[in-house]
Amino acid sequence: MESNTTKIYRAEKLFTGDGWLTGKAVVVADGKIVEIISTDTVDQSLTIYPAIAPAFIDVQIYGAHGKLLAVYPEADSLHKLYEYCKHGGASHFQPTVATNSREVFYACIDAVKNYWNEGGKGCLGLHIEGPWINAIKKGAHIESFIHSPSVDEVKELLAYGKDVITMITLAPEVCSKEVVELIGSYGVIISAGHSNATYKEATQAFNSGIHAATHLYNAMSPLQHRAPGMVGAVLDHATVMSSIVPDGFHVDFSAIRIAKKIMKERLFAITDAVTETNEGPYLHHLTENKYEANGILSGSALNMVKCLHNLIDHAEIDTAEALRMVSLYPAQVMNKASKMGKIEKGYDANLVMLDEKLGVKKVIAAS
């Protein structure tokens, strides 16, 4: 019987992160998964959902509902972002700010702190994308902010953002070994992106403290037969993980399918979603279900459940594997896979209830 402290969620099909189970219920207490039991043993009047899966995780998203975090660096922007993410099946998100001024980065750090202090849920920390990138691969990033970092600049940012900054995207070829080691010493995940690194430079970086790459194919040196570039290095590496934006605009779905065949569990989905913006250096405007700034592709209009559908419907990826790409694998890249990304005894109770067509009905978030 369900009590005030214990909740039971029934599913026709339950995806644990490892595989599918039928006729099971998830027992939750104090934000933790206590056990998985047969639906036959629980109150039959409880709602039964067509499917329950681990809630999704979006590790790169910039804003929602007209409030880009970089323009509105305040807790309210993150509350709106959380609601947007939950609507798309995600219990957790990593707000991201693109290449910008020092003042904007510091204000975004303050916004995350304030959000947490207000009891805001789901925010994993702050992802800073740039400005330590290669201007040749800037994409929609603002060139006047782009530069190679000094050790002192990095120290100051990391000190101010301690325990808030969780990921930094940089171009390894414009950052010194000392800078990379310094960032790593703070426990910050380093992702290679907006980079024109050669295959050799990228491979060296992946062997020396950089364990992820940002939006495969986009804003990185391409795979060519005489110059495999960063794309070739990502595909070829044994362990490096990479995000990809599955909207059909950032990357052709056939290219996602090819990368998936090669990378398997190393490839995961992000939305890279922005919002309509009329202030600041990034004027994002919706065009054909994608965003552009100054005529350049600048972000997606995805949420995580749309990522899931696109991976299944257009990239021809198996449903179970597509579910892992939006939950387990993002948890792994964030070093959170011991407590989220699966439905298993002892894990945080982050669940997404789905209908027959894998539409989101409800999200349960532990924290």
pLDDT on residue 1: 39
Percent of the chain clearing pLDDT 90 (strictly above): 98
Query: Is 240 strand, coil or helix?
Result: coil
What whole-number distance in Å separates Cα of residue 227 and Cα of residue 98?
28
Tell whether the model's pLDDT for residue 134 goes beyond 50. yes
Residues 77 and 150 in one domain: yes
pLDDT on residue 4: 53
Task: Report pLDDT digits (tens) over 181-228.
Answer: 999 999 999 999 999 999 999 999 999 999 999 999 999 999 999 999
Contacts of 287 (CB under 8 A, 6+ apart): none
For residue 353, give its domain range: 6-54+343-364
Domain count, the chain: 2
Residues 307 and 356 in one domain: no
pLDDT on residue 294: 86
**Is 96 a domain residue?**
yes
Residues 240 and 359 in one domain: no
Residues 106 and 28 in one domain: no
**Is 338 a domain residue?**
no
Strands, DSSP E only, in the chain?
6-15, 20-29, 32-38, 48-54, 56-61, 63-64, 67-68, 90-98, 126-129, 165-170, 189-192, 212-213, 241-244, 267-269, 285-287, 290-293, 296-300, 351-354, 360-364
Residues 223 and 354 in one domain: no
Task: Report pLDDT digits (tens) over 258-312.
Answer: 999 999 999 999 999 999 999 999 999 999 999 999 899 999 999 999 999 999 9
Residues 44 and 182 in one domain: no
Average pLDDT over residues 133-139: 98
Residues 12 and 157 in one domain: no
What whole-number distance in Å separates Cα of residue 165 and Cα of residue 178?
18
CATH number of the CATH domain containing 29: 2.30.40.10
Residues 156 and 236 in one domain: yes
Residue 247 tokens read as 């909207």
Residue 195 tokens read as 């980079």
Confidence of residue 251 (pLDDT cuts 50, 70, 90): very high
What DSSP letter does each residue of 206-233 carry, written as one string? HTTT--EESSTTTTB----SS--HHHHH
Average pLDDT over residues 163-185: 98
pLDDT on residue 367: 83
| DSSP β-bridge partners for residue 90 | 56
Give the global pTM.
Answer: 0.97
Tell whether the model's pLDDT for residue 362 goes beyond 80. yes
Look up residue 122 and give its amino acid.
Answer: G
51 phi/psi in degrees, rounded to 5: -155, 145
Residue 79 contacts residue 115 (beta carbons within 8 Å): yes
Q: Is 272 a catalytic residue?
A: yes
pLDDT on residue 5: 82
Q: What is the mean pLDDT of the chain?
A: 97
Residues 111 and 82 in one domain: yes
Average pLDDT over residues 31-50: 95
Residues 146 and 104 in one domain: yes
Residues 301 and 261 in one domain: yes
Confidence of residue 252 (pLDDT cuts 50, 70, 90): very high
297 phi/psi in degrees, rounded to 5: -55, 125
CATH number of the CATH domain containing 323: 3.20.20.140
* Residue tagged active-site, from 272, 313, 318, 348: 272
Residues 89 and 176 in one domain: yes
pLDDT on residue 94: 98
